Copies of this chain bind each other. A is one copy, B any other.
Amino acid sequence: MDSGRVRPPALRWRELGAAERQQALRRPAQVDGAEIAEVVAALIEDVRMRGDVALRALTARFDGVVLDDLAVTEAEFSAAETAVSPALAAAIGDAAGRIEQFHAAGMIPPYAVETAPGVRCERVLRPIRRVGLYVPAGSAPLPSTALMLGIPARLAGCRDVVLCTPPRADGSVDPAVLVAAAHCGVRKVFKIGGAQAIAAMALGTDSVPACDKLFGPGNAFVTEAKRQVSRLEGGAGIDLPAGPSEVLVIADAGANPGFVAADLLSQAEHGPDSQVILISDDADLINRVAARIELQLADLPRADIARHALRAARMIQVENLDEAFEISNDYAPEHLILAVRDARAWLPRVQAAGSVFLGDWAPEALGDYCSGTNHVLPTSGAARFVGGLNVASFQLAITVQEVDQQGLRAIGPCAIELASAEGLDAHRLAVARRLDVA
């Protein structure tokens, strides 16, 4: 690869051995985990010991601003409403409406079943009592993430919602983030970023209430902080194992190379560690996409980030689309675009992915912002075993059993038999003592 061009290596899948195939699908190596873990552990300990004092010191150090009050005031919320253009405010409301519509329709209901006469088993749902949302602002503020976290939290019925996002150099929070938060009914917003925000929401300080579960994407420090606080005794829960963002596009000969190139670039601009993969059964399509990437890069302000990410890009030529879906299912991409004819007919072949985009008119950007699905999705292969955020992520499903004397007589003997087989006599006796009376 010469330095001026970024055409990623095109691989003919059939010609690769097992080790080469494995190598081709490896995620880009992450920054040094041990070093990050050490830094983060020290930050968490600092927040535990010094609370708000630590938060202010860390904010001065990492965000370059000295804050008296970490909380966003009502005056700041009001100012944000006027600072945001009407077009942007409308877009936030418009996106929120579709996100709410889709998420509300997928809520799990409570239910009850009489599994034996006198034995009623139920699932009841409760909002998680206090949730903490993290909205990163690394290279740009992300009002869309405030919506993707805040809307399901509200639908779940969470009354106590805390949101942390890094302050800008002037000590303010991006107004679009505040408008999006307010749209979800979130008014407890703190100007705290990075691992210190996670520590604050997990442990609580004088300003920031301790939360039961933490949500939201972030860089390697945020991710490590979530992992560490979730291991503490009585620590907060966390949403998803998070890693760099990724897209896999399966394209056939009929795909539009310009669209495919644009989709690959929209993923690549996320960060230098983003991964983009194109799989096609058509060598010509691959070449045309590669050429379009070169052309389109010229227009991109974030071309440097994209170029960096493209170094880890893969373009894979397969014999047929069946093979493409096998590879995709093994890779389990966060985003999967099916730029193939009759895309819906291929959907049953998708066995592992975060979110799927069907056809030529469904760029990933629609899912990132406003189709209605959530953009907080499993990365790093976690789509093999977990789906993205949804309302249930903000709820507890508690099971209940209500048993009367008749019910105990019906199923008690079964419990006694099994408890005996397991050698758990006190279990057996807890039933038997009641049966003697019942």
A290 within 8 A of B: no
Contact with B along A27-63 (1 / 0, CB 8 A): 1000000000000000000000000000000000000
Q: Do residues A381 and B234 form an inter-chain contact, with CB atoms below 8 A?
A: yes
A141 within 8 A of B: yes
Q: Do residues B399 and A358 form an inter-chain contact, with CB atoms below 8 A?
A: no
The answer for the CA separation of A359 and B237 in the assembled complex, in Å, is 30
Q: Do residues B415 and A369 form an inter-chain contact, with CB atoms below 8 A?
A: yes
A92 within 8 A of B: yes
A262 within 8 A of B: yes
Which residues of chain B are near A269, meaning CB under 8 Å?
424-427
Once A121-B373, A398-B354 are accepted as A-B contacts, the answer to whether A366 and B128 lie under 8 Å apart by CB is: no
Q: Do residues B128 and A385 form an inter-chain contact, with CB atoms below 8 A?
A: yes
A265 within 8 A of B: yes
Q: Most chain-B Cβ atoms within 10 A of its Cβ — which of A98, A231, A233, A422?
A: A422
Residues A361-382 near B (CB distance < 8 A): 361-374, 380-382
Q: Do residues B91 and A418 form an inter-chain contact, with CB atoms below 8 A?
A: yes
The answer for the CA separation of A79 and B375 in the assembled complex, in Å, is 51
Kindly identify which residue among B256, B369, B399 contacts A387, using a CB–CB cutoff of 8 Å. Answer: B399
A401 within 8 A of B: yes
Which residues of chain B are near A359, meaning CB under 8 Å?
402-404
Which residues of chain B are near A392, meaning CB under 8 Å?
392
Which residues of chain B are near A354, meaning CB under 8 Å?
398-399
Kindly identify which residue among B258, B365, B429 contacts A427, using a CB–CB cutoff of 8 Å. Answer: B365
Q: Do residues B366 and A412 form an inter-chain contact, with CB atoms below 8 A?
A: yes
Q: Do residues A366 and B426 form an inter-chain contact, with CB atoms below 8 A?
A: no
Q: Do residues A128 and B412 form an inter-chain contact, with CB atoms below 8 A?
A: no
Q: Do residues A426 and B265 form an inter-chain contact, with CB atoms below 8 A?
A: yes
The answer for the CA separation of A403 and B433 in the assembled complex, in Å, is 62
A357 within 8 A of B: yes
A405 within 8 A of B: yes
A431 within 8 A of B: yes
A1 within 8 A of B: no
Copies of this chain assembled into the complex: 2
Which residues of chain B are near A111, meaning CB under 8 Å?
105-106
Which residues of chain B are near A128, meaning CB under 8 Å?
384-385
Q: Do residues A422 and B363 form an inter-chain contact, with CB atoms below 8 A?
A: no
Once A92-B418, A401-B371 are accepted as A-B contacts, the answer to whether A424 and B102 lie under 8 Å apart by CB is: no
A388 within 8 A of B: yes
Which residues of chain B are near A129, meaning CB under 8 Å?
329, 351-352, 384
Q: Do residues A426 and B268 form an inter-chain contact, with CB atoms below 8 A?
A: yes
Q: A residues touching B (Cβ–Cβ < 8 Å)?
A: 27, 87-88, 90-92, 94-95, 98, 101-102, 105-106, 108, 111, 113, 115-116, 119, 121, 123-124, 126, 128-129, 139-144, 176, 212-213, 227, 230-231, 233-234, 236-237, 241, 256, 258-259, 262-263, 265-266, 268-270, 296, 299-302, 306, 329, 343-344, 347, 350-374, 380-388, 390, 392, 396-405, 407-408, 411-415, 417-419, 421-431, 433-434, 437-438
For the complex of A and B, list the 9 residue pairs with the smallest distance between their C-beta atoms, beginning with the closest. Answer: A237-B385, A91-B417, A387-B397, A140-B423, A115-B372, A213-B385, A362-B403, A373-B399, A262-B430
